Amino acid sequence: MRLPNWLHKLASPPHFYRIAARIEPWMLGAGLAAIAVGTFGGLLLAPPDYQQGDAYRIIYFHVPAAYLAMQLYALMAIGSAIGLVWRMKLAYAIAAAAAPVGLAFTGLALATGMLWGKPMWGAYWSWGDARLTSVLVMFFLYLGYMLLHASLEERSTADRAAGILAVVGVVNLPIIKFSVEWWSSLHQGPTISRLAAPAITWDMLWPLLVMIVGAVLFSLAVMLTRARAEVLLRERGARWVRDVVAVGA
Amino acid sequence: MSEFLAMGGYGAFVWPCVGLSFAILAGLMLTARRRLHGVHRQIRHRNVAPEEGAWELRVSRARESRA
């Protein structure tokens, strides 16, 4: 199977590096602005929930973190799969750049979930709950990917071994997504769904949507910065890297 | 103001979430920048030891020395 031409062009490390360096500051600025607006809206403008009171405001931090944790895992697995199939170095670099960002957001989703769970369920954690446990499994998959990648001497072997782990771990994503429907769970159902109307009013929904957009832009900016570092390390013998480093771009 | 900080009695749960979220965002941004600058420095001065605490850089350097 052959890759499309535009993907081939984007996969060229110097081309990717230049594009990433150009769009990253805009993504970071837009992401931080959206997060500031979303936080203001979520904490000050949105009305309290009729059942959960002000405790529900944790949603503005928990849901974007949980959403990104899953999306970044999917990105890491897709990058690894492309690397394994087409031996594309850039795909491995993107997978390696996504892992620490995904790990941080998974940790944040778990921590904010626990802080939300205590006042609502009366407990920080429940081992019997499939959603909580499957997200914890994803946290360890991220950690496993990073440790495996760091522990192998040859970078190409590390990319392949960690990539296989990432691809195998994809089986956990539908388990996380559908766990609240397949099994009885303390965790509430989805707040926003593609197929159904949102479970909250517009006053509560817009700050959440703004926070999700902000978090996505922010994480892409951070990931692009990390991917640029990965690309430089992998291409350090190339002339274009010496030129880039010489001018500090 | 104190009513806002109390968050209807849930302040002890809401504010740690806010603080932790911003701390993680700041940490992600700073470590990514630090890593990129560290890689620049590492490539520019191959014999300079990577910055203390930059774990990934130490890994890449160890990899280089073993290769």
CB-closest option in A55, A154, A233 to B10: A55
Q: Is residue A91 part of a domain?
A: yes
The answer to whether A22 and A249 are in contact (CB under 8 A) is no
Amino acid at B31: T
Q: pTM (2 decimals)? A: 0.88
pLDDT tens by residue, chain A, 249 residues: 666 777 677 778 899 999 999 999 999 999 999 999 999 999 999 999 888 889 999 999 999 999 999 999 999 999 999 999 988 889 999 999 999 999 999 999 999 999 999 999 888 988 878 899 999 999 999 999 999 999 998 889 999 999 999 999 999 999 998 887 777 777 776 766 655 666 778 999 999 999 999 999 999 999 999 999 999 988 888 888 888 888 776
Q: Is residue A206 part of a domain?
A: yes
Asked if residue B50 has pLDDT above 50, the reply is: no
Is A222 in the B-facing interface, judged by CB distances under 8 Å? yes
- Name the residue among A169, A112, A113 with its Cα closest to residue A146: A169
- B10–A226 CB contact, under 8 Å: no
At residue A27, the pLDDT reads 97
Q: Is residue A242 part of a domain?
A: no
The answer to whether A56 and A49 are in contact (CB under 8 A) is yes
Residue A203 lies in domain: 34-44+60-235
- A108–B21 CB contact, under 8 Å: yes
How far is the CA of B44 from the CAs of A233, A235, B15, in angstroms?
Answer: 12, 13, 43
Query: How is residue A117 written in tokens?
Result: 């769970």
Query: How is residue A14 written in tokens?
Result: 């110097």
How far apart, in whole angstroms, are the C-alpha atoms of residue A164 and residue B5? Answer: 47
CB-closest option in A48, A55, A226 to B13: A55
How far apart, in whole angstroms, are the C-alpha atoms of residue A83 and residue A90? Answer: 8
Rg of chain A (C-alpha set):
20
Q: Is residue A28 part of a domain?
A: no
Domain count for chain B: 1
At residue A3, the pLDDT reads 66
At residue A207, the pLDDT reads 96
Residue B23 lies in domain: 2-66
- Chain B contact set for A233 (CB, 8 A): 39, 42, 60
How far apart, in whole angstroms, are the C-alpha atoms of residue A43 and residue A56? Answer: 10
- Name the residue among A94, A84, A71, A67 with its Cα closest to residue A191: A67
Backbone angles phi and psi of A22, in degrees to 5: -75, -45
Q: Which residues 117-136 of chain A have a CB within 8 Å of chain B?
A: 118-119
- B13–A44 CB contact, under 8 Å: no
Cβ within 8 Å of residue A224, ≥6 positions away: A20, A23, A24, A27, A97
Task: Nearest chain B residue to A114 by CA: give it.
Answer: B13
Q: Is residue A128 part of a domain?
A: yes
Is B43 in the A-facing interface, judged by CB distances under 8 Å? yes
ipTM: 0.89
Helices A202-234 + A239-247 axis angle, to 10: 120
Could you read off the pLDDT of B3-47 as tens digits, one per residue? 888 898 999 999 999 999 999 999 999 999 999 999 998 888 764
Domain count for chain A: 1
CB-closest option in A105, A228, A236 to B36: A228
Cβ within 8 Å of residue A212, ≥6 positions away: A63, A64, A67
Query: How is residue B22 written in tokens?
Result: 């911003």
Q: Which of B36, B41, B57, B59 is best to mutate for the A interface (most A CBs within 10 A)?
A: B36
- Name the residue among B25, B64, B32 with its Cα closest to residue A104: B25
Residue A166: helix, strand or coil by DSSP? Answer: helix
